[in-house]
Chains A and B, each alone.
Chain A
């Protein structure tokens, strides 16, 4: 029977359990951060297979270093620093083949404009399931077209909801650099979304 108490534990407490040999603590960490870490790695690599490989290695390194983990900084800062180093090292090895979805032709997407506009205006009518699926594809394409630095930073702001200071610490850059990347990422996204809208007409 899984230990439901673990769901109420903070991350630092889970790490103590993991260091003490509690297997369920590892499962809880995995459950908590699986999608977030894979998404983080995907923002770097733009390839799902690579993202999963690197996410797997990230979690295993968390386990291997559990006994040495000191909660000096937030757990997520430590976790994503591990992921960042793995992604950067993997990127240096050479060209990664980007996921096919980025290379798909734009195609006719008459509803794309309306979906983007409705997403921009939070108060508009909710999307249908089919529209939600289309929206995910559109957003992912737009994000994938961002330059590397802008993409990784914007994903950490908008998806992981991290403050600039934490992002700067994880990526090893200044807060000023983060501010600039976010600003430019939004400008680039605006142009990309205009192109997506133009393609759909």
Chain B
């Protein structure tokens, strides 16, 4: 079985102005296949545009040598410190949320039964104690792991 042939688009003639408009995108590999063929065909036959293309590639080579801006020695430490602080706060949040939800539910139930704003109920205090025990256990676990 014969290999499928790869057909290359036929180049269209473009002017120097059109070519120079496309050169920046060309060096960035942002042109369509047709545009790429057109530019390459023109550059192969035009000294001025070939020279301009070389200059653009030169500028690109220069800038691409830039190593960027590295973080100071304290940067990573500062980010991790803040991250750990926030992640600890986030970890304890479900327990404080659960205590608040239990209290709200208990108050709602008491209001329904008596029609009066409730005093603190047994169920409420049980929920608070459970939440406190869970929070202490978590803090102990986190500090034990360091």
Contact = CB atoms under 8 A, between A and B. Distances in A.
Interface of A: 21, 23, 26-27, 30, 34-36, 38-39, 42, 48, 51-52, 55-56, 59-60, 63-64, 116, 119-122, 135-136, 139-140, 142-143, 154, 157-159, 163-164, 179, 182-183, 186, 189-190, 193
A59 B71 CA distance: 13
B30 interface: yes
A56 B66 contact: no
B66 A59 contact: no
**Chain B interface category by residue count:** 20 to 34
Nearest to B63: A158
B30 A154 contact: no
A158 B58 CA distance: 12
Nearest to B62: A119
Interface in B37-62: 55-56, 58-62
A52 B63 CA distance: 22
B17 to A, nearest CB: 13
Given A64-B86, A143-B63, A189-B59, A56 B68 contact: no
B8 to A, nearest CB: 23
B63 A154 contact: yes
B82 A38 contact: no
B75 A56 contact: yes
Contacts, number: 106
A34 B71 contact: yes
B68 A35 contact: yes
Contacts of A163: 30
B83 interface: yes
A119 B65 CA distance: 7
A8 to B, nearest CB: 21
B79 A30 contact: yes
B87 interface: yes
A51 B75 CA distance: 11
24 contacts: A21-B87, A23-B83, A23-B87, A30-B79, A30-B80, A35-B68, A60-B86, A64-B86, A119-B61, A121-B58, A122-B61, A136-B66, A136-B67, A139-B62, A154-B63, A158-B63, A158-B66, A182-B25, A186-B24, A186-B56, A189-B59, A189-B63, A190-B55, A193-B62
Contacts of A158: 60, 63-64, 66
Interface string B78-100: 11101110110001000000000
Contacts of B58: 120-121
B72 interface: yes
